[in-house]
Amino acid sequence: MGVVQDFKLPVERTVYFVASLIPGGAALATYQSVSGTAIQWFFGIQFLGYRTKLGLLIFSAFVIGHTMTNFVRILIDDLLPILAEQVAKVPWPSKSSFEYEIGPWRSVEWRNAVRNRLGTSAPDDLRFMTLQMMDQELALVESLPIDQQGAERMRILQERTASILNDMEWSTLYSHYHHMVGQLNESARHDEVTTFIRDGFTYNFIAASMYVLISALVVPAVRQWWCILPAAAWVFGFVLFFVAAIRRVLANKWSTLHDQVSYLLSGQI
């Protein structure tokens, strides 16, 4: 693990430095298109050598790009998770659990894994009586002697009530482990070296794209299809990715069923 961490640190710093030149270069190119002579003037300074000028230009692009990317990173890493957290606070299921005919919290494999994990603390594994099943059983009561019908109806209603309360317990447990496993999966994703590289370029391309689109509002020279189209594609793609991630993690509760079973059986704390 220490070797991996020692390898990731220089890779991360190198990637973020190189990638910061993308939005920084876009900003300098936009400034050049507005002034028309800024770059020529800079390289025309006599008391600086060519390498010094080139180094200052790259350093300026890095500072500008790093600043822009940090803004985007704050937006993505800080503000959007807050939004996701608020969405996650919305009670789920949106309906009461017993109103669903099927649900991942009723999976036999998942319930066995929960009982393996929690032992005697796990809820009782009662049969869930749907409304249709209750109606069918109540209809059968009519065939019984009249003096037995009242007690049998009461037994069926009590069983239905107990199954509803039990189902809600399992649903609450499933929602708990759903969010826990989702967070663990996200942490594991951020530990991958390829994730550092991909995110390093992604953040910077998004920052550059946002800058280009905003600049196009006031800088006519930027209003070129070959500038606007890629920038719009990056921003639009990011919005789609975020919406899909929210729907996958918060709306599709089935998405973590197998991961939950693996987590519960692994004994991981």
Q: Is the dihedral of CA 148, 151, 157, 159 positive or negative?
A: negative
Predicted pLDDT at 253: 74
CA distance 246 to 81: 10
Q: Is the peptide bond before 93 cis (omega within 30 degrees of 0)?
A: yes
Domain that holds residue 76: 2-89+192-266
Q: How many helices (H) and strands (E) does the chain have?
A: 10, 0
Cβ contacts of residue 203 below 8 Å, gap of 6+?
A: 19, 69, 72, 73, 76
Q: How far, in whole angstroms, is CA 148 from its chain's centroid? A: 56
- Let me know if residue 177 belongs to a domain: no
55: which DSSP letter?
H
20, 57 Cβ separation under 8 angstroms: no
Give 260: exposed, middle or buried? Use CB within 10 Å, 0-12, 13-18, 19+.
Answer: buried
> In the prediction, which pLDDT does 1 show?
47
pLDDT for 14-70, tens place per residue? Answer: 777 788 888 989 988 888 888 878 888 888 888 888 888 888 989 999 999 989 888
> What's the predicted TM-score (pTM) here?
0.57
Residue 79 located in a structural domain? yes
pLDDT (tens, 9 = 90+) of the chain, 269 residues, equals: 444 455 566 666 677 778 888 898 998 888 888 887 888 888 888 888 888 888 898 999 999 998 988 888 887 777 666 666 666 555 544 566 777 778 899 999 999 999 999 999 999 999 899 888 999 999 999 999 999 999 999 999 999 999 999 999 999 999 889 888 877 876 666 556 666 677 778 888 998 999 999 999 988 888 888 889 999 999 998 888 777 766 665 556 788 889 999 999 987 76
Residue 53 lies in a domain: yes
Number of domains in the chain: 1
Q: How far is CA 18 from CA 35, 134, 144, 200, 267, in A?
A: 26, 65, 81, 9, 41
Q: What is the pLDDT of residue 212?
A: 92
In this structure, is residue 248 part of a structural domain? yes
pLDDT value at residue 229:
93
pLDDT at residue 167, rounded to an integer: 93
**154: in domain:** no
pLDDT at 69: 87
Residue 155 lies in a domain: no
Q: Does 10 fall in a domain?
A: yes
DSSP 112-138: HHHHHHHGGGSPP-PPP--HHHHHHHH
Of 105, 98, 101, give the one whose Cα is nearest residue 160.
98
Percentage with pLDDT > 70 across the chain = 80
**6 is a domain residue:** yes
Distance CA 152, CA 218 (A): 78
Torsion sign, CA atoms 22, 203, 216, 237 = positive
